[in-house]
Amino acid sequence: MILQAIAFYVFSTVLVGAAFMVIAARNPVHSVLFLILAFFSAAGLFVLLGAEFIAMILVVVYVGAVAVLFLFVVMMLDIDFVELRRGFLQYLPTGVVIGLIILGELLLVAGIAIVTPETAGLAAHPIPSVATRTNTGALGDILYTNYIFLFQAAGIILLIAMIGAIVLTLRSREGVKKQNISDQVNRRREDGVEKVTVRPGQGI
């Protein structure tokens, strides 16, 4: 228990500090790197809670795809961040309102847990048949048995969205050399080889 408590406080401290640095860092590349650190710290907290599947999703999906994508976009695009920061103050009231709402919700949850501690016993208990299994195995059983058709439909929708994004961003430009595999395979020798009789003392 002592090691778990120490790990919890270490991960929590790093997570809060990294989350603050995401919005406080002047360099956007540093903000993305702090975001990756925050994801890893959150994954460690989920492992301590026994939710290893969510921790794996955080590392594989968010760190391996989303955060790295943000990093490449920030590094590759020539964005004038000084120009973007000029209109920061006009969004400050909205940000303050949203922050107060989130703080109120957190205080509400904490207040309910303190005033009525018996509500913790109302949480759903694991199913006896899968109580000894891991979360990943139990989720796999549910997704690929009860919700297999919905799961496959979601995959098809994402595939269609990906194809649509590619089609919308595809632009045909003139003067771009492209390969035509059919023409290359069906090309005859006469189309590429020309027999020329060169007279002495003359060029081609």
Residue with tokens 């847990």: 113
Which one has a higher pLDDT value, 5 or 203? 5
Structure tokens at 169: 């961003």
Looking at the chain, the whole-number percentage of residues with pLDDT higher than 90 is 10
Average pLDDT, the chain: 79
The pLDDT assigned to 194 comes to: 79
Dist. CA 42–CA 54, nearest whole Å: 10
The pLDDT assigned to 153 comes to: 94
Confidence check: pLDDT of 108 > 90: no
Instruction: List pLDDT tens digits, range 67-85.
Output: 777 777 777 766 666 666 6
Instruction: List pLDDT tens digits, range 183-201.
Output: 888 888 777 787 778 777 7
DSSP 50: T
Q: Cα-atom radius of gyration of the chain, to the nearest Å?
A: 29
Which one has a higher pLDDT value, 73 or 96? 96
Which one has a higher pLDDT value, 93 or 158? 158
Dist. CA 19–CA 31, nearest whole Å: 9
Dist. CA 35–CA 41, nearest whole Å: 10
Dist. CA 76–CA 64, nearest whole Å: 18
Which one has a higher pLDDT value, 116 or 96? 96
Is the pTM for the entire model greater than 0.95?
no
**Helix extents (H) in 51-132:** 52-57, 68-76, 81-85, 92-115
Instruction: List pLDDT tens digits, range 30-64.
Output: 888 888 889 889 988 888 888 888 888 888 888 88
Instruction: List pLDDT tens digits, range 127-172.
Output: 555 556 677 787 888 888 888 899 899 999 999 999 988 888 777 7
